[in-house]
């Protein structure tokens, strides 16, 4: 995430661009420049910038509805493939997910409707004279036409009833209002697969590789969504106290790393809480240990190599919540604390074991 740059903040939401995003206007601009010359290149870059402004406002529309449902939006980041609004969590109620997913495409439709008449006054019937076959930046006139039509196209593409598009989420939410969430997901995923196969076949017939790529992407994303929902539901049934091992090793801040190495050779524990008296100071992960040893710092103390930010969970917390916290912190071990006192540790392997047992039943 450090590889992105904040460009502005609106409604309390930070809008960032990922550094790879800058490649896109450069890539398009150079491509057009070599084939069609300087002015066309300028127009193509204006077009790309406009397209991404629309994408930003599409994401902001999703985010505003999310905020209305008290979901924090961390930031919106633009990547070359599009924008992503990073949210703290997904909505729990189907109705909320439904409204949230439709808000984005709705922005594009509203903008297109609002722009139609003014543009019609300027361009006359030309506004309708556009086809996929002649994408060109030969004149400002055709560039503006493209800028106009890109919004309905964005809306249409995002409304495809397939994950990870907004339409797929809206469809699942609509179904989930009438049946269990898992079943709704399964049906939405099948419809997504169906669309992916149709796209794939069409791509083969018309020999259009980009469509093949999209088809592939949609297929994978649909399967992934089903797996994630299954995982979430399986993990919701268990609490930390059901699975956490009672036995664990902790180390002191002044334990030398060579001592930790010896300890980690004797156990299967990967990460060690660093504790002084009752206080948890941090966690010494296997990664911390290996990188310190790699730099020949074996005689350094645990406190010099440990990670200070630890994931803290309680005995009554569900595994689903623990898993989300670990994923957000990119951590493999969480510390179980009760009233500030360390009660044990839980690792991502513990969670994986529960999931495997649960899904094989
Ligand atoms: Zn969207």
Q: Which residues contact 122 (CB under 8 A, 6 or more apart)?
A: none
Separation between Cα atoms, residue 135 and residue 57, nearest integer Å: 24
Separation between Cα atoms, residue 248 and residue 272, nearest integer Å: 8
Residue 107 Cα to ligand 1 midpoint, Å, equals 10
Q: Give the pLDDT score at 98.
A: 94
Residue 316 Cα to ligand 1 midpoint, Å, equals 35
Residue 127 Cα to ligand 1 midpoint, Å, equals 26
Residue 75 Cα to ligand 1 midpoint, Å, equals 14
Residue 155 Cα to ligand 1 midpoint, Å, equals 8
Which tokens in the block code for residue 171? 């469809």
- Assigned fold of 240-360: CBS-domain (3.10.580)
Residue 157 Cα to ligand 1 midpoint, Å, equals 10
Tell me the domain boundaries of the chain.
1-159, 160-234, 240-360
Q: Give per-10-residue mean pLDDT for the chain (361 aa).
A: 76 85 77 76 86 90 91 84 78 90 94 85 69 65 83 90 89 93 92 92 88 88 87 86 82 90 88 89 91 82 89 90 85 88 88 79 65
Three-state SS string over 82-136 comes to EEEEEECCCCCCHHHHHHHHHHHHHHHHHHHHHHHHHHHHHHHHHHHCCCHHHCC
Residue 202 Cα to ligand 1 midpoint, Å, equals 24
Residue 30 Cα to ligand 1 midpoint, Å, equals 29
Q: Give the pLDDT score at 131.
A: 52
Residue 105 Cα to ligand 1 midpoint, Å, equals 6
Residue 193 Cα to ligand 1 midpoint, Å, equals 19
Residue 61 Cα to ligand 1 midpoint, Å, equals 8
Q: Give the pLDDT score at 171.
A: 94
Q: Give the pLDDT score at 234.
A: 83
Q: Which residues contact 350 (CB under 8 A, 6 or more apart)?
A: 243, 244, 245
Residue 203 Cα to ligand 1 midpoint, Å, equals 24
């Amino acid at each position: 995430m450090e590889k992105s740059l904040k460009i502005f903040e609106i409604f309390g939401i930070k809008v960032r661009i990922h550094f790879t995003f800058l490649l896109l206007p450069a890539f398009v601009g150079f491509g057009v420049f070599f084939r069609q010359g300087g002015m066309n290149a300028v127009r193509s870059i204006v077009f790309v910038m406009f397209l991404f402004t629309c994408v930003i406002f599409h994401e902001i529309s999703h985010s505003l509805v999310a905020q209305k449902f008290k979901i924090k939006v961390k930031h919106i980041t633009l990547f070359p493939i599009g924008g992503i609004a990073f949210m703290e969590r997904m909505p729990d109620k189907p109705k909320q997910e439904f409204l949230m997913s439709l808000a984005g495409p709705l922005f594009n439709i509203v903008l297109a409707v609002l722009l139609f008449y003014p543009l019609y006054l300027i361009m006359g019937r030309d506004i309708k004279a556009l086809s996929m076959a002649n994408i060109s930046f030969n004149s400002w006139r055709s560039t503006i036409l493209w800028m106009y039509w890109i919004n309905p196209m964005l809306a249409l593409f995002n409304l495809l009833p397939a994950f990870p598009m907004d339409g797929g989420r809206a469809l699942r939410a609509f179904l989930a209002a009438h049946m269990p969430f898992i079943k709704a997901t399964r049906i939405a995923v099948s419809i997504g697969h169906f669309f992916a196969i149709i796209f794939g076949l069409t791509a083969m017939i018309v020999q259009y590789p980009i469509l093949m790529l999209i088809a592939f992407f949609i297929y994978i994303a649909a399967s992934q969504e089903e797996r994630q929902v299954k995982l979430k539901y399986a993990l919701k049934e268990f609490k930390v106290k059901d699975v956490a091992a009672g036995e664990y090793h902790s180390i002191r801040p002044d334990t030398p790393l060579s001592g930790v190495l010896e300890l980690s050779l004797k156990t299967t524990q990967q990460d060690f809480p660093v504790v002084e008296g009752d206080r948890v100071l941090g966690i010494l992960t296997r990664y911390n240990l290996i990188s310190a040893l790699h730099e020949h710092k074996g005689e350094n103390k645990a406190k010099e190599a440990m990670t200070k930010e630890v994931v803290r969970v309680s005995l009554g917390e569900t595994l689903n919540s623990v898993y989300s916290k670990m994923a957000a912190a990119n951590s493999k071990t969480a510390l179980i604390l009760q009233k500030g006192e360390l009660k044990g540790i839980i690792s991502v392997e513990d969670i994986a074991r529960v999931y495997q047992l649960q899904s094989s039943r």
